[in-house]
């Protein structure tokens, strides 16, 4: 049995994606997972009267993607019992298209919206019966066992979500995370919108990852229109992506310090994060990189003068960041709270399909920048940082060391920007095609899959934010922890609510 | 302890002297848009067609932009051949009324009345609710708590409990899934209470307007006292708006 093998960002005719009866599809799926492939995306595409399921698996050893599909009716056997990392994908498929993966161990909605099929949903509910996070919850029973429910509105300036803890005193047996409050209908809106409008939906699908998501979107449209973008555009995208990473990692290190009551680093990093955002602001006018990346390249150049200025600012700001963050590693009260808290084993990380910082903290050597490099990363490698303890400490240290490599990368790039234009107009999209773009955003693997119809318009667009893979990792991290460790564990993952909810 | 003090000395003093000293904004910063009605040819719709959110309309002879919808992408200014639309560097954009957000009826926010100022002018506690926000508005509100802005020196604080709050600051287009939570939070705040809408999503639904999954902003749901446009608004725009509302800057205290 074969699959369609694609490079990161390579397009193909959709008819080349082999289709199998479900039993063979399932066998193929399982054999790839046994070989160490990971699930980058797995989703439904309406097709005639039924539903097509499309699997996008990543083979990191060979640096390519394996695509294959099947067709299902109202029900299909769940793969979750054998492949735990598809549990969330199957819940998404069930919720969106009203189909039932049978034998799924915990089949619940993930976003709480009505079914796209226009009739009763997978739980036989009518549209008006669907309320956010009104669903079954896992219950631990016994003397003095109690539930703690938190959210959607949390005690801070943070996005909404619902957390349900099963506790015995301070000890957490289980945390269940229910999201969906941020659901804005982005994937369907993208298909309704002209491409010039759709980019704004992409920019705001996770506002702190604007460069990551716009890069994935732009690469898909460039591939579909056979556009080769200039080298300088690749470099500027790389610089912006690393700035996004450093800014968020620095902010997270400050927030982690704040969550253990260590205020010096919390204060300094809060400000320093702003300095990195302001560097992005100097490149394009907006601190979050809005309107910088477009299909065809980038809208703003980094002239020699600005490059020199950014280089200087990167050095100064990074020195201050080291000064602020190094305090963490020399303060025993901080280390005492970081070490051993919220540990996830590497076996669990593999089974749950974690990505990004959270996965690398568990010893998984995965990073799209080195495994399936695109653009500037094909010629300029950024080292990944791998630690093994899987705890808050590992996630914090990785953020710090990754930022150091990113600063080094962008300083080098700023000194050797290729002498080319920064934009190349894109043409019409090729019809009946498929393309997958992976990008290593600051949280981890971003996956965008684009399908076009015969008319060359987008017929389906699937977005998988790294948070989609990782929310369950946070639930695992809380097992056997104290409930008071939740804010610290949560911040050490710092996942996106809106990127998950779409 | 010695290390911490040494780091403190190295980090230096970084709190801005705003509002006495104007903030430094990047050269490409896009501030309040300006429409030069005289320059508009009047016979094309290029800017209207380019706008992803329908923020531009023609009112009789006058071209008008609704900042409550604008994403500040600048497509309109780029496409206009007669230079009728431009983006200034003015970061001050908050208004007290929805209609004041139109470029043809532009009016900066005014302070609360004297009685409200006497109570809230130097102590305002807000509960922030993200109702579908993409975390950009949230981040640029949160950043006001960092030492660069040091929001609490103006007596403004974000609090955890709505019971402790004098108002709500809303971000996001108000998803259908957050409608109840937002209204319950609002109900839990003791009166009198204020509503601040931050970002084009909260004001009009922004890029999500028309999606069946969202309510399309707080307009019509809550009585808004302060509108802060942008996608997301720059932190200085948000701070300026809040300070105008409580009367710490603006006409009442000229020269401050």
3-state SS string for A116-156? CCCCCCCCCCCHHHCCCCCCCCCCCCCCCEEEEEECCCCCC
Q: In A277-419, where do the E strands start and end?
A: 293-294, 297-298
Alpha helices in A204-303 (DSSP H): 210-224, 231-259, 263-284
* Cα separation, A330 vs A332, whole angstroms: 6
**Chains A, B: CB contacts under 8 A, how many?**
170
Cβ atoms within 10 Å, residue B157? 15
Asked whether residue B256 carries a pLDDT value surpassing 50, the answer given is no
Contacts of B131 in chain A (CB under 8 A): 160, 181
Cβ atoms within 10 Å, residue A31? 11
* Cα separation, A366 vs A385, whole angstroms: 10
Peptide bond into B192 cis (omega under 30): yes
Q: Is the Cβ pair A181, B181 closer than 8 Å?
A: yes
Q: Which residues contact A365 (CB under 8 A, 6 or more apart)?
A: A384, A386
Residue A155, both tokens: 């005690």
Q: Give the residue from A6, A15, A455, A427 showing the smallest Cα distance to A221.
A: A427
Topology of the domain comprising B33-90: Alpha-Beta Plaits (3.30.70)
Q: Looking at chain B, which residues constitute the CATH 3.40.50.12280 domain(s)?
A: 114-249
Asked whether residue B253 carries a pLDDT value surpassing 50, the answer given is no
Whole-complex ipTM: 0.93
Which domains, from first to last, does chain A contain?
4-132 (3.30.460.80), 186-501 (1.10.645.10)
Residue in A closest to B136 by C-alpha: A207
Nearest CB partner across the interface for A181, out of B8, B158, B178: B178
* Cα separation, A135 vs A127, whole angstroms: 14
* Cα separation, A361 vs A401, whole angstroms: 12
Residue in A closest to B168 by C-alpha: A157
End-to-end Cα, chain A, rounded Å: 34
Cβ atoms within 10 Å, residue A60? 17
Place of tokens 């230096």: B12
Q: Is the Cβ pair A159, B133 closer than 8 Å?
A: yes
* Cα separation, A349 vs A474, whole angstroms: 11
Q: Is the Cβ pair B212, A185 closer than 8 Å?
A: yes
pLDDT at position A52, please? 97
Asked whether residue B219 carries a pLDDT value surpassing 70, the answer given is yes
Residue B206: strand, helix, or coil? helix
End-to-end Cα, chain B, rounded Å: 39
Cβ atoms within 10 Å, residue A187? 17
Q: Is the Cβ pair B175, A157 closer than 8 Å?
A: no
Q: Is the Cβ pair B177, A181 closer than 8 Å?
A: yes
Contacts of A320 in chain B (CB under 8 A): 10-11
Q: Is the Cβ pair A290, B73 closer than 8 Å?
A: yes
Mean local confidence (pLDDT), B108-133:
91
CA distances from A232 to A282, A363, B36 (A): 17, 34, 36
Decide if A459 contacts A22 (C-beta within 8 A): no
Mean local confidence (pLDDT), B95-108:
93
Residue in A closest to B15 by C-alpha: A271
* Cα separation, A4 vs A15, whole angstroms: 10
Long-range contacts of the stretch A194-197 (C-beta < 8 A, 24+): A195/A221, A195/A295, A195/A458, A196/B50, A196/B52, A196/B75, A197/B52, A197/B53, A197/B207
From A286's Cα to the closest Cα of chain B, the distance in A is 7
Q: Is the Cβ pair A324, B138 closer than 8 Å?
A: no
Q: Is the Cβ pair B73, A158 closer than 8 Å?
A: no
B14, exposed or middle or buried, with CB in 10 Å at 0-12, 13-18, 19+? middle
| Distance of alpha carbon B20 from the chain centroid | 20
Contacts of A298 in chain B (CB under 8 A): none
Q: Give the residue from A288, A280, A438, A275 showing the smallest Cα distance to A356.
A: A438
Residue B199, both tokens: 């970002």
Asked whether residue B145 carries a pLDDT value surpassing 60, the answer given is yes
The 10s digit of each residue's pLDDT in B177-198 is: 999 999 999 999 999 999 999 9
Q: Give the residue from A380, A260, A401 showing the smallest Cα distance to A318.
A: A401
Could you give the angle at the alpha carbon of A385 between the alpha carbons of A440 and A247, nearest 5°? 55
Q: Name the DSSP letter for residue A227.
A: P
Pick the residue of B4, B25, B26, B27 with the most A CBs within 10 A to test the interface with A by mutation: B26
pLDDT at position A155, please? 85
pLDDT at position B251, please? 63
pLDDT at position B255, please? 35
* Cα separation, A262 vs A333, whole angstroms: 9
| Distance of alpha carbon A284 from the chain centroid | 24
Q: Name the DSSP letter for residue A389.
A: S
Q: At what angle do helices A486-493 and A392-415 cross, to 10 degrees?
A: 30
Contacts of B201 in chain A (CB under 8 A): 204
* Cα separation, B49 vs A34, whole angstroms: 52
Contacts of A281 in chain B (CB under 8 A): 25-26, 28-29
What does the pLDDT profile of chain A (502 residues) look like in tens digits? Answer: 789 999 999 999 999 999 999 999 999 999 999 999 999 999 999 998 889 999 999 999 999 999 999 999 999 999 999 999 999 999 999 999 999 999 999 999 999 999 998 888 989 888 888 889 889 999 999 999 999 999 899 888 889 999 999 999 999 999 999 999 999 999 999 999 999 999 999 999 999 999 999 999 999 999 999 999 999 999 999 999 999 999 999 999 999 999 999 999 999 999 999 999 999 999 999 999 999 999 999 999 999 999 999 999 999 999 999 999 999 999 999 999 999 999 999 999 999 999 999 999 999 999 999 999 999 999 999 999 999 999 999 999 999 999 999 999 999 999 999 999 999 999 999 999 999 999 999 999 999 999 999 999 999 999 999 999 999 999 999 999 999 999 999 999 999 999 999 9
Mean local confidence (pLDDT), B13-31:
92
Asked whether residue B58 carries a pLDDT value surpassing 90, the answer given is no
Could you give the angle at the alpha carbon of A41 between the alpha carbons of A39 and A44, nearest 5°? 130
* Cα separation, A236 vs A355, whole angstroms: 25
Confidence of residue B141 (pLDDT cuts 50, 70, 90): very high
From A183's Cα to the closest Cα of chain B, the distance in A is 7
Residue B121, both tokens: 């002018």
Share of chain B above pLDDT 90, in %: 80
Q: Give the residue from B21, B27, B29, B33 showing the smallest Cα distance to B239.
A: B21
Cβ atoms within 10 Å, residue A371? 21
CA distances from B120 to A291, A312, B144, B167, B211 (A): 38, 43, 18, 11, 37
B67, exposed or middle or buried, with CB in 10 Å at 0-12, 13-18, 19+? buried
Decide if A197 contacts A189 (C-beta within 8 A): no
Q: Which helix (H) or strand (E) holds B157?
A: strand B156-158
From B12's Cα to the closest Cα of chain A, the distance in A is 10
Whether domain B114-249 has CATH 3.30.43.10:
no
Q: Which residues of A213-229 are buried (b: 16+ CB within 10 A; e: fewer)?
A: bbbbbbbbbbbbbebeb
Nearest CB partner across the interface for A320, out of B11, B135, B207: B11
Q: Is the Cβ pair B135, A497 closer than 8 Å?
A: yes
Q: Looking at chain B, which residues constitute the CATH 3.30.70.20 domain(s)?
A: 33-90
* Cα separation, B133 vs A183, whole angstroms: 10
Q: Is the Cβ pair A196, B50 closer than 8 Å?
A: yes
* Cα separation, A68 vs A56, whole angstroms: 7
Q: Which helix (H) or strand (E) holds A413?
A: helix A392-415
Q: Which helix (H) or strand (E) holds A397?
A: helix A392-415
């Amino acid at each position: 049995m074969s699959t369609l093998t694609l490079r990161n960002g390579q397009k193909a005719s959709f008819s080349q994606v082999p289709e199998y009866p479900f039993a063979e599809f399932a066998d193929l799926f399982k054999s790839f997972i046994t070989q160490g492939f990971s699930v980058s995306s797995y989703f439904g595409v309406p097709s005639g009267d039924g539903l097509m399921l499309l699997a996008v698996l990543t083979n990191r050893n060979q640096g390519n993607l394996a695509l294959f599909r099947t067709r299902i009716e109202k029900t299909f056997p769940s793969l979750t019992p054998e492949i735990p990392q598809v549990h969330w994908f199957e819940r998404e498929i069930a919720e969106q298209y009203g189909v039932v993966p049978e034998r799924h161990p915990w089949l619940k909605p993930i976003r709480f919206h009505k079914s796209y099929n226009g009739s009763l949903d997978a739980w036989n509910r009518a549209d008006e019966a669907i309320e956010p996070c009104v669903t079954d919850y896992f219950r631990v029973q016994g003397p003095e066992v109690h539930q703690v429910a938190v959210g959607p509105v949390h005690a801070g300036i943070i996005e909404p979500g619902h957390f349900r803890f099963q506790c015995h005193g301070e000890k957490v047996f289980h945390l269940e995370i229910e999201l969906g409050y941020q659901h804005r209908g982005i994937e369907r809106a993208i298909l309704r919108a002209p491409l010039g409008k759709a980019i704004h939906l992409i920019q705001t699908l996770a506002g702190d990852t604007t460069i990551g998501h716009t890069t994935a979107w732009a690469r898909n449209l460039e591939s579909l229109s056979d556009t080769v973008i200039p080298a300088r555009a690749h470099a500027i995208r790389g610089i912006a992506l690393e700035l996004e990473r450093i800014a968020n990692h620095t902010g997270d290190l400050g927030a982690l310090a704040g969550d253990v009551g260590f205020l010096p680093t919390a204060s300094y990093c809060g400000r320093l994060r702003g300095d990195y955002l302001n560097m992005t602001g100097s490149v394009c006018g907006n601190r979050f990189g809005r309107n910088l990346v477009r299909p065809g390249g980038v809208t703003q150049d980094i002239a020699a003068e600005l490059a020199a200025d950014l280089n200087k600012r990167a050095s100064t700001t990074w020195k201050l960041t080291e000064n602020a963050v190094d305090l963490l590693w020399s303060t025993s009260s901080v280390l005492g709270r970081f070490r051993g808290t919220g540990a996830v084993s590497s076996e669990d990380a593999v089974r749950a399909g974690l990505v990004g910082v959270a996965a690398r903290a568990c010893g998984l050597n995965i990073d799209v920048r080195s495994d399936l490099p695109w653009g500037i990363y094909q010629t300029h490698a950024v080292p990944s940082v791998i630690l093994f303890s899987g705890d808050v400490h590992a996630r914090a240290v990785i953020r710090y060391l990754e930022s150091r490599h990113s600063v080094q990368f962008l300083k080098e790039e700023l000194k050797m920007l290729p002498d080319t234009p920064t934009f190349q107009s894109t043409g019409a999209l090729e019809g009946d095609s498929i393309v997958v773009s992976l990008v290593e955003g600051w949280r981890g693997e971003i996956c965008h899959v684009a399908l076009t119809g015969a008319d060359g318009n987008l017929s389906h667009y699937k977005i998988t934010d790294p948070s989609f893979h990782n929310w369950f990792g946070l639930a695992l991290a809380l097992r056997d922890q104290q409930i008071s460790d939740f804010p610290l564990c949560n911040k050490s993952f710092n996942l996106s609510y809106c990127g998950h909810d779409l | 302890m010695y290390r911490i003090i040494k780091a403190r000395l190295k980090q230096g003093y970084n709190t801005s002297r705003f509002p006495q000293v104007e903030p430094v904004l990047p050269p490409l910063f896009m501030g309040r848009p300006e429409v030069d009605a005289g320059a508009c040819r009047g016979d094309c719709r290029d800017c209207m067609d380019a706008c992803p959110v329908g923020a531009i309309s023609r009112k009789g002879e006058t071209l008008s932009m609704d900042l409550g919808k604008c994403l500040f992408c600048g497509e309109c200014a780029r496409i206009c051949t007669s230079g009728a639309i431009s983006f200034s560097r003015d970061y001050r954009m908050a208004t007290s009324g929805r209609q004041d957000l139109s470029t043809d009826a532009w009016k900066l926010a005014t302070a609360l009345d004297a009685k409200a100022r006497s109570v809230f002018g130097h102590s305002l506690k807000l509960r922030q609710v993200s109702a579908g926000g993409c975390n950009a508005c949230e981040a640029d509100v949160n950043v006001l708590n960092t030492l660069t802005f040091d929001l609490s020196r103006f007596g403004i604080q974000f609090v955890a409990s709505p019971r402790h709050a004098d108002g709500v600051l809303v971000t996001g287009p108000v998803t259908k899934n957050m409608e109840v939570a937002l209204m319950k939070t609002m109900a839990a705040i003791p009166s009198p209470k204020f509503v601040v809408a931050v970002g084009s999503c909260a004001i009009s639904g922004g890029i999500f307007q028309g999606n069946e999954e969202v309510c399309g902003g707080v307009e019509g749901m809550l009585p808004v006292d302060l509108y802060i446009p942008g996608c997301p608004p720059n932190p200085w725009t948000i701070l300026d708006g809040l300070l105008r509302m409580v009367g710490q800057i603006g006409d009442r205290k000229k020269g401050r």
